[in-house]
Amino acid sequence: MNFSRTWSIYVKELVDLLRDHRTLLAMIVVPIVLYPALMLGGIQVLSTQTAELEESRFVIAFQEKSHWDDVIAPMLQDEITLLQARRAKAAADGASEELLAAMPKPVAPLIDPKITLNLEEAVRSRQVHCGVIVESAGNLQVPGQEQWRLKLLYQPEDLRSQVASERLTAAFERVADSVVERRLRMRQLDPVLIKPIVVAREQLTSAGSVLGLIVPLILVLMTITGAIYPAIDVTAGERERGTLESLMVCPVPVIDLICGKFMVVSTIAIIGAALNLASVTVTVFLGGFQQMLNMGAAEGEAGFPFWALPVVLLCLIPLAVLMSAIMIAVCSCARTFKEAQNYVLPVILAALFPGGIAALPGSRLEGLNLVMPVGNMVLLTRELLSGAHVPAASYAWVLLSTCLYAVAAVALAANVFGRESVLFADSVSLKAVFNRRLFRPAELPTLSSAALYTALLFPIWFHVQNLLQISSDDAVAGAIRGTALLLPVLFVLVPVAAMSYWRVELKKSLRTAMPSGRFLIGGVLIGLTAWIPASELFVFQDAYLASPPSLVEMNKSLMAALESMSLPMALLCLAIVPGVGEELFFRGFLLSAFGTKLKPWTAILATAIIFGVFHFIIFRFAVTMGLGIVLGVLCWRSRSVWPGIIAHVLHNGLAVYTVYNEGWRRSIGIPESETWPVHLPWHVILVGGGIFLLGIACVIVRSGQPPVQAEPAVG
Amino acid sequence: MAMIEVDNLTKEFHDSDGRAFRAVDGLSFQVEAGQIYGLLGPNGAGKTTSLRMLSALMTPSSGRITVNGYTVGEHVFEIKQSIGFLTANTGLYQRLSPRDVLRYFGELHGFDKQQARDRCEVLIREMDITDFSDQRCGTLSTGQKQRTNIARALIADPPVLIMDEPTLGLDVMSNRVILDFIIAQREAGKAIILSTHYLDEAETMCDMIGLLHRGRIVAEGTIDELRERADAVRLSSIFLKLIHAHDPLEGVLP
């Protein structure tokens, strides 16, 4: 990639877009007007609704007039007396105005009684809010054993009906309590006797907490919409205005073009996100809505977390980048502005769906939500804006997964934009994209297809792992067996099926050719000793980034699970299947695809990072990535996947075997796992490390012919 | 060696059901430096597809193209550097000025900022753009746009010019600008391919004419040679006769 040319494209597109008043309108005016309007309007609507419910009257139906006149009305009259007494007592005790205002109000003055025979029908058809059936009645004033049986009919779907039923129930209970109290006193008993626990509920959420749920979703959506107009303008717009052809005859690679365009769309989306955020801040600050954004925080507690705003902005950047890439990929298929707008709509809906799920009050930033595209950002923003503490690992998951999706989308955009069929087609036919007869046989999978599959696989694999742990009775052992079953399917069978469908040469892509002997020997040596540098690396990391107790717990449960399995089964599930499957995927499929566009070292590093990420434990990331680099070099140098498989299987197998046979470990003086992580004994480091380096030497020392780099795939 | 050599070029397209259709079928011709080669043919004859393959915008299904000594498929960037490409419906960036556009394309062709600025000023003088060089392209007249477009095609001073119906839909004045420019470029020693519908235009301008029909050259030669072969004077009659001879069922002018 030629950066100065990409920069020229970037500058030109930026000038072009900023001279367009439509961009400025969408970018600046909308956020400045939207948030104040939304907050003021939203709060007014909400408070009006709440006030309406407080003041609204309820129509309550009875079967006979006497039920109201003789039973319920006196009962509710008792409630009025009770509450008045309570209020008078509170006022005498010096309660504040607000406290008095917050005290329960009697329900009787709000009731419009209605007499009708068919109560059920009346409630169902919403003619009345509640129905009260008096099943048996006695005289409340007469001391004794009498019991009154009432039945309340209401409709939970109707908010008014529900509120009516709640208020009636509360009134009846209050009256019942006072009757009980009276009865006890008559028998010279203390009412405390039957009321050992008194619960006072204090509700602290306000109308604004709903805004606290919605504002993050709107922020995220506005960031997404910020990318739409520029994305259409630089792709479909360019085609519609007839400038695309003259651009494509310039001696500039498509990837440079797309990167310049993508950078500009991202810039505009990020500026838009920043302006949106600034507008939220100003609205909150000037409008005095701070309390309302903090869900559940008591009065006087930490106000609106202004410190979180730069963090929120930083988090919105990867999202802006991701959506810019997706929009460019989608709009590249369109010939006209209008067509592009049609394509964009489903994308927004698709983004709205996870975003909406995340905006539900019950959603939390954990589990699958951490890697849910868009949704994770809504949740993260919400947590940050509510002033909650977000663990570093959660940040890492959200940002990492979003970046991964963004890379895949950029790769896809470059692939789509440069395609001849898209460039000149009168219409892009989906059928043609999947018509096997039209595919040219290719030697290797393309970078964009591999990146796309990896990005899709990431949340799927994350979900599968979580699901396996939940679904099996014996969590860890079940998860191990389930993983061993699904890993070959997702990491080998699906990519192999896709590659053979798109006519990609399997043998070359998966690098299944036999290498020369020295690489096999190197693989064996590395596989037997890689645990030594891995263990030392972990000790080193532990000094700076202490591993949490949960990791030790996890290791313990893993070992316990292993002991419940037979050795051959454990070896199969934890050494052979992952060894073969992961090598075929990461070093076969992925490294081949990455090698078509990236320099060898970049490709090895990229696959190693993805390899580390797919192991899902942040504290093992460095070690896994290190192993990924060694295995990547092994595969690249030998041009074969076999030495890596040998090394990987041996490495994992050795770890499993250690659990079953601690004896050999003690015999070479390795400390017990309880004291872990600690340095290995010096003699082990020296001898084992020596063998490891020997293995590396077998791999990297050049023999006669230099290794040939893989040719880029065609088409 | 000729500046442009096309040898047995074919291009197949597939519809959505995968049926193949040959837009260009065994096309061969040569263009020398200082020559205007007219590519004539009815709609759908394969003119635009051929020119797109020549400019490395499309990959040929088979065959070989050499431009300025570089081969399409192998030296994509050198080829793109050697070619100036112009069509009648080439647009300009509405919100940029001609000066912005020329500098931008200069930078895309690998000039640094200073070089791009210098080349841009030269072209602004040569193409007489000075008066409107800082207006936005959206506000220019058709003739002014055409001159800007020509300047854009000449930005890297390419030895080869490919013109796909450059005068389609233009008025007489703008038409004149383009044709004068093409003749001037021939004088400057460029190899020029001109695809056009206007037969009188081809008659007066082209040194060589290739009649393209259904993806093949059905007749090739100077205007005099073609007159002789078809035994007709006007190019329109020649055109009809030769195409008719090749394909008796056809015979309708586009």
Last residue of some domain: A438, A457, A483? A438
How many CB pairs lie under 8 A apart between chains A and B? 88
Euclidean distance between CA atoms A42 and A653, whole angstroms: 61
Give the DSSP letter string of B65-105: EEETTEETTT-HHHHHHHEEEEETT----TTS-HHHHHHHH
Is B52 within 8 Å of chain A by CB?
yes
Say yes or no: A395 and A528 in one domain. no
Residue A294 and residue A211 share a domain: yes
Could you tell me if residue A672 is inside a domain? yes
- At A712 the pLDDT is 42
Q: Which of B77, B97, B99, B108 to mutate to test the interface with A (most CBs of A within 10 A)?
A: B108
CA distances from A315 to A100, A216, A266, A376, A378 (A): 45, 12, 13, 10, 10
- Cβ-defined contact of B18 to A424 (cutoff 8 Å): no
**Amino acid of residue A188:** Q
Contacts 24+ apart (CB under 8 A), A451-456: A451/A407, A451/A408, A451/A411, A451/A412, A451/A593, A452/A408, A452/A411, A452/A412, A453/A494, A453/A495, A453/A498, A454/A404, A454/A408, A454/A590, A454/A610, A455/A404, A455/A405, A455/A407, A455/A408, A455/A409
| Residue A273 forms part of a structural domain | yes
Residue A292: predicted pLDDT: 55
CB contact under 8 A, B94 and A250: no
Residues A67 and A188 in one domain: yes
Query: How many domains are there within chain A?
Result: 3
Query: Do A166 and A292 fall within a single domain?
Result: no
Return the residue of B nearest to A422 by Cα.
B58
The stretches in chain A having pLDDT less than 50 are 205-208, 295-302, 426-428, 705-715
Tell me the pTM.
0.66
Q: What is the pLDDT of residue A499?
A: 87
Decide if A180 contacts A350 (C-beta within 8 A): no
Cβ–Cβ < 8 Å for A19, B137: no
* Residue B94 forms contact with A (CB below 8 Å): yes
CA distance linking residue A408 with residue A411, whole number of Å: 5
pLDDT of residue B179: 86
Q: Give how far A424 is from chain B: nearest CA, Å.
A: 9
Q: Which helix (H) or strand (E) holds B38?
A: strand B36-40
Sequence-distant (≥ 6) Cβ neighbours of residue A363 within 8 angstroms: A357, A369, A375, A379
Say if strands B36-40 and A149-153 run parallel, antiparallel, or are unpaired: unpaired
| B90 chain-A contacts, CB cut-off 8 A | 242-243, 245-246
| Angle, CA of B185, B189 and B190, to the nearest 5° | 60
Q: Which residue of B11, B12, B16 is the best one to mutate when testing the A interface, meaning the one whose CB has the most A CBs within 10 A?
A: B16
Query: Both A143 and A280 in a single domain?
Result: no
A653 and A582 fall within a common domain: yes
Question: SS3 string of A2-14?
Answer: CHHHHHHHHHHHH
- B185-214 residues touching A, CB cutoff 8 A: none
A477 contact B CB<8A: no
Structural domain ending residue among the three candidates A389, A419, A438? A438
Q: Is residue A464 part of a domain?
A: no
Cα–Cα distances in Å, from A597 out to A593, A712, A714, B59, B229?
A: 8, 7, 12, 20, 54
For residue A161, give the CATH number of its domain.
3.40.190
Min CA distance, A441 vs chain B (Å)?
14
Rounded Cα distance between A591 and A637, Å, is 12
Structure letter (DSSP) for residue A26:
I
Whether A68 and A15 share a structural domain: no
Q: Tell me which amino acid residue A28 is.
A: I
**Does B17 touch chain A if contact means CB atoms closer than 8 Å?**
yes
Q: What is the pLDDT of residue A632?
A: 94
Asked if A9 is an interface residue toward chain B (Cβ–Cβ < 8 A), one would say: yes
DSSP string, A124-147: HTTSSSEEEEEEE---TTS-SS--
Q: How many CB atoms lie within 10 A of CB A553?
A: 10
Taking a contact as any Cβ pair under 8 Å apart, which residues of chain A between 384 and 423 contact chain B?
Answer: 420, 423
Residue B101: pLDDT band by 50, 70, 90 thresholds? very high
A241 touching chain B per CB within 8 A: yes
Tens-digit pLDDT profile for residues A648-670: 999 999 888 887 877 777 777 67
Is B152 touching A (CB cutoff 8 A)? yes
Domain ranges of chain B: 4-90+160-246
Task: For residue B172, give how far its alpha carbon lies from the nearest alpha carbon of chain A (Å).
Answer: 22
Q: What is the DSSP code (8-state) at residue B160?
A: E
Q: Find out whether A593 and A444 touch, Cβ atoms under 8 Å.
A: yes
The predicted pLDDT at position A246 comes to 84
Q: What are phi and psi of A151, to 5 degrees?
A: -130, 130
Q: B250 CA to chain A: closest CA distance, Å? A: 26
Nearest to A403 by CA among A325, A318, A313: A318
Last residue of a domain, one of A143, A168, A194: A194
Do A65 and A176 lie in a common domain? yes
Is A200 inside any structural domain?
A: no
Cβ within 8 Å, pair B109-A250: yes
Relative to beta strand B83-87, strand A149-153 is unpaired
Q: Which residues of B touch A247 (CB under 8 A)?
A: 108
pLDDT tens profile B64-94 = 999 988 988 788 888 888 999 888 777 888 8
Half-sphere exposure (CA, 13 Å, Cβ side) for B55?
A: 29
Quick one: A371 and A339 in the same domain?
Answer: yes
Same domain, A144 and A237: no
Q: A363-374: string of b/e by CB count within 10 Å (b at 16+)? A: bebeeebbbbbb
Give B91→chain A minimum CA distance, Å: 4
Domain extent, residue A548, equals 515-700
B114 touches chain A (CB under 8 A): no
Q: Are residues A184 and A278 in the same domain?
A: no
- Chain B contact for A249 (CB, 8 A cutoff): yes
Query: How far is CA A596 from its chain centroid?
Result: 31
CATH number for B4-90+160-246 (one of 3.30.365.10, 3.20.20.100, 3.30.1360.120, 3.40.50.300): it is 3.40.50.300
Residue A460 domain flag: no
CB atoms within 10 A of CB A438: 17
